[in-house]
Structure 1
Amino acid sequence: MLAHVIVSGRVQGVGFRFSARQQADQYNLTGWVQNKSDGTVELEVEGSKDGVHAFLNDLKEGLNPAIKVDDMKVDTQQDEKGYSSFSIR
């Protein structure tokens, strides 16, 4: 399963990308995360359906106390892109 996500809120300058990578590693997920110029964070994550859903739930919770997620736009699909690791861009 693949999920493409745009996260808005207090998500830049608070360790979001690092925390997302750590959490993805916990669920054996692959993909990438990057800051966008509009203040949001964009990511793609792929792996097992249960792992992706658990990861997305963790994102909504904020991952660490400094992060505040206001909104998440999530598009999912069954076809994966074959990422070999989870990277910060």
Structure 2
Amino acid sequence: MTVMTTQRLFVSGRVQGVGYRDYATRQARALGVTGWVRNTRDGRVEMLVSGDDEALQRFVEACRSGPPLARVDTIEAQPDNEERSARGFTKRFTA
């Protein structure tokens, strides 16, 4: 049985206005990770992601690189218990 994990990620660096959310969406869909991504008013990108441990690890590693114009300084990951009922991976408006 596969155990699903949910994490909230905060990505800092040059991650807004460089296609980071589109990049994260493509990576998530390719890896079978569900959740959402959005910009925050403080310049970071926030994501709520769910998947098996291996898929999440691969997703976070991909997010450390980001698209060509991005510069990722840090990714803060914290376990999250938010109920996940949505399927797929979506972009949300800035929070």
The alignment's TM-score, normalised by the length of structure 2, stands at: 0.85
Q: Do the aligned residues in 2 keep the contact of 1:2 with 1:80 (CA within 8 Å)? A: no
2:31 to 23, 27, 40: 27
1:83 maps to 86
* CA 12–78 in structure 1, closer or farther in 2 if over 3 Å, else same: same
69-78 vs 51-60, greater mean Cα deviation: 69-78
Identity value in percent: 36
| 3-state SS in 1 of match to 2:16 | coil
Q: Give unmatched runs, 5+ long, in structure 1.
A: none
2:13 maps to 9
SS at match of 1:13: coil
Q: Where do 1:9-88 residues align within 5 Å?
A: 9-62=13-66, 64-76=67-79, 81-88=84-91
Unpaired stretches in structure 2, ≥5 consecutive residues: none
Q: Which structure has the larger Rg over C-alpha atoms?
A: 2
Question: What is the RMSD of the two structures over their aligned residues, measured on CA atoms?
Answer: 1.5
> Does the CA contact (< 8 Å) of 1:32 and 1:45 recur in 2?
yes
TM-score by length of 1: 0.91
